[in-house]
Structure 1
Amino acid sequence: MLPELSSLETFRHLLAEAPAQDAAAIAGAQDRNMQLTKPPQALARLEDLAIWYAGWRGEPRPEIKTPQVIIFAGNHGVTAKGVSAFPPEVTVQMVANFEAGGAAINQLAKLAGAKMDVHAIELDRPTADFTESPAMTDAEFLDALRIGWTAVDADADLLVVGEMGIGNTTAASAICNALFGGVASVWTGRGTGVNDEALEIKTEVVSQAVALHGPEIKDGLDALQRVGGRELAAMAGAMVAARYLRIPVVLDGFICCAAAAALAKTAEGALDHCVAGHESAEGAHPALLNHLEKKPLLSLGLRLGEGSGAALAIQIMKGAIACHSGMATFAEAGVAEG
């Protein structure tokens, strides 16, 4: 049972007091791993993933049976500045495509055997233009966090959170620039494929936003509220809910990782239950992963969003757990140990 998310301070407290891994399950998984019919570390990172996963699930011999993919959608007032190659109406159209089963994420979620849910968050009411004011009021920010907080299925055993929102690479760039410093151009990429002129506008928008809000940003949640978006906040809420439900999370691309960064810059160890699903083609994503100290499972040049790269990485996680929990031990197989 999740605690009630009654205020932003409650969310900060819950984030700071989030549960840790089960030490006994880790020890049991490590012991089992040493007895499996393979040379030590022959499966390399798959072994590490299985032990990490076991620690969060509290089971030394876990399984992945009920993964969940959640897509959050939101619109951004900053798109009026000309930062995207597509109009905001595309967000609504793509949500309809998700609900009809026609998007890439639908296919990848189905392939992974994952339940998929879509949450469109006030698409008719974009966030405020964050070059002029905070993107969300306290009440709007809390509402978005709650949507993510309550969207996680307690019966899920692995979670992917994805997004849809025209203009949200601009928000993600602003979050990263605010949290990690440097010049705006380092964090600002082409997103959906903007031309050189639009990229220049986008970079200036990020720079203006950070200059305006920087003095008021004390932690990652401040950045998420001031220069983020409803779908990014919902992703963050879902990630923290997953932690309380002991559900490991596979992070998607740049936008998802920007939402995760807001948690990491608010509480130490906030992303210990998360693994990076892939490294996207968005220019700043590798740098962001380095800041988060997350090594991606895949690197395929993807830049779609929607949770697509993370959903594909569910297969890697399933492979790690299948080998760990399904392989025979030397004793069971009657194989002599070396």
Structure 2
Amino acid sequence: MSDERFSPESATFDEIRGLFRALPPADLEAGTEAASREAQLTKPAGALGKLEELTRWVAAWQGKHPPSIAHPRICVFAANHGVTAKGVSAYPPAVTQQMVHNFVSGGAAVNQLAELHDADLRVYEMALEQPTADFTEAPAMSEDECAKAMAYGMMAVEPGIDLLCLGEMGIGNSTSAAAIAHALFGGSAEDWTGPGTGVTGDAYKAKVKAVADGVALHKARTDDPLELFASVGGLELAAIAGAVLAARMGRVPVLLDGFACTAAASVLYAADPRSIEHCQVAHCSAEPGHRLLLEKIGKEPLLDLGMRLGEGSGAAVAIGIVKAAVACHNGMATFADAGVSGPS
């Protein structure tokens, strides 16, 4: 799973680019076995709809049949963003640290969802006292900082995990997410910029301007997705991207949370569309740019509940959907076992 060659102290973009040349494919045999069993279960063909697709997805990316969801992990990466100096958020940067304390003490929404689904919750603080640079004035991160953050995220994918749920906490990261999407997929800053923590009026205008200014400043680096990531991304978003790559190498299916999390994964998609084939997007955020981003990367969300909390909460809700799919697949009787007549 996590690759010791990519330690936070020595990782480089060239090493990370090398992973794109070694992406393991889905296990088609395991997926075929799942489809074969589905056809024998006591139900009309296709009657469980998306749940049947999820079962094949889990089996194919775990590389085994029957699939299992016994050890899900939720990883929440937390970092601060220098662009908050431009007044782009309704909350001060100190809230990032305060929410980390809330996670640790068990008081956040994601804590309740992790307990509900018997999921392992891990929270990773990423130099909260050292925010990224304001990307409207300079690159948010150096190549070295971005590569190290990606390698740090890789370390979260440990042996024994059978489903990885990714989320983030970072005041200002919806501004960074909008800038990433704008730089990668075009359109206008307004297309990608939403209220985030609830900004309106002048604060929203400042947010749109920050996204437009940042992308314009770093336009020369947009041809390389990783360089673009360093220019307008964030430490927690880089860690999410690293975790996605490590999960692929370790055959762990991934549930992505909302807009910021999907924006981090979209950098990998821009580098190689195959790199996020093992990912499902758990839900469509109420953040308006998320739906557009899902169209660009060809992903259909599992849920659409109007959520925009972040912290991995949407991915945590979706654990129950994936568990339901696998439980039905593994536990239902076949027509032969139950003595039920199959379709004529």
TM class by shorter chain equals over 0.9
Contact 1:76 1:229 in 2 (8 A): yes
Decide which of 295, 299, 307 is 2:300's aligned counterpart: 295
Match of 1:286 in 2: 291
| Contact 1:253 1:305 survives alignment (8 Å) | yes
Which of 166, 171, 174 is matched with 2:171 structurally?
166
Whether the 8 Å CA contact 2:2–2:157 is kept in 1: the answer is no
**Structure 1 residue 224: Cα displacement:** 1.4
Q: Determine the structure 1 residue equivalent to 2:144.
A: 139
The root-mean-square deviation of aligned C-alpha atoms, in Å, is: 1.0
In 2, distance between residues paired with 1:172 and 1:16?
26
Matched, 1:127 2:123: no
Contact 2:143 2:227 survives alignment (8 Å): no
Deviation track 1:185-220 (CA, whole Å, cap 9, x = no partner) reads 110011000121101011011001111111212232
**Is residue 34 of structure 1 aligned with residue 39 of structure 2?**
yes
Please tell me the residue identity of whatever aligns with 2:214.
A
**Superposition pairs of residues 217-228 of structure 1, within 5 angstroms:** 217-228=222-233
2:107 is matched with 102
How far apart are the structure 2 equivalents of 1:48 and 1:151? Answer: 27
Quote how far apart the aligned CAs of 1:335 are. Answer: 1.1
What residue is the counterpart of 1:151 in the other structure? 156
One-letter amino acid matched to 1:286: R
What letter matches 2:70 in structure 1? K
How far the C-alpha of 1:32 sits from its partner, in A, is: 0.8
- Identity over aligned pairs, percent: 52
1:61 aligns with 2:66: yes
- 2:224, 2:315 → 1: CA distance? 26
For the 8 Å contact 1:148–1:235, the answer to whether it is kept is yes
Aligned partners of 1:220 and 1:261 also within 8 Å:
no
CA offset at residue 280 of structure 1?
A: 1.0
Distance 1:279 1:314 in 2: 15
Q: Distance in 2 between matches of 1:197 and 1:154?
A: 48
User: 1:109-258 alignment to 2 at 5 Å?
Assistant: 109-258=114-263
Task: Quote how far apart the aligned CAs of 1:93 are.
Answer: 0.3
The residue type paired with residue 305 of structure 1 is G
Equivalent of 2:312 in 300, 303, 307 = 307
Instruction: State the partner residue of 2:279.
Output: 274
Once residues 331 and 162 of structure 1 are traced to their aligned partners in structure 2, the CA distance between those partners, rounded to angstroms, is 43
When structure 1 is superposed on structure 2, of 54-63 and 170-179 the one drifting more is 54-63
AA aligned to 1:241 is A
Give the TM-score normalised by the residue count of structure 2.
Answer: 0.96
SS at match of 1:281: coil
**What secondary structure does 1:284 align onto?**
helix
Partners of 1:286 and 1:323 in 2: CA distance: 30
Q: Matches of 1:38 and 1:240 in 2, distance apart?
A: 37
Number of aligned residue pairs: give it: 338
Worse-matched range after superposition: 27-36 or 219-228? 219-228
> Is 1:83 the counterpart of 2:88 in the alignment?
yes
Q: Which residue of 2 aligns with 1:43?
A: 48
TM superposition shift of 1:328: 1.1
Among 311, 327, 336, the alignment partner of 2:332 is 327
Structure 1 counterpart SS, 2:280? strand
Find the partner of 1:74 among 74, 79, 95: 79
* 1:153-195 Cα deviation digits (max 9, x unpaired): 2211001111000000000000000000011011001100012
Which AA in structure 2 matches 1:122?
Answer: A
Measured in 1, the distance between the counterparts of 2:21 and 2:230 equals 18
SS at match of 2:75: strand
User: Distance between the aligned counterparts of 2:159 and 2:224, measured in 1?
Assistant: 29
Q: CA deviation at 1:288?
A: 0.7
- Unpaired runs of 5+ residues, structure 1, are none
Q: Which amino acid aligns with 1:15?
A: F
| Secondary structure, aligned partner of 1:91 | helix
Deviating above 4 A after TM superposition, structure 1's stretches of 4 or more consecutive aligned residues are: none
User: How far apart in 1 are the matches of 2:61 and 2:164?
Assistant: 12
Aligned to 1:19: 24
Q: Which runs of 5+ in 2 are unaligned?
A: none
Q: Distance in 2 between matches of 1:220 and 1:89?
A: 30
CA distance in 1, matches of 2:257, 2:225: 19
CA shift, 1:147, in A, is 1.2
Paired with 1:222 and 1:7, the residues of 2 have a C-alpha distance of: 12
Q: Is the 8 A contact 1:160 1:311 kept in 2?
A: yes
SS in 1 for 2:74: strand
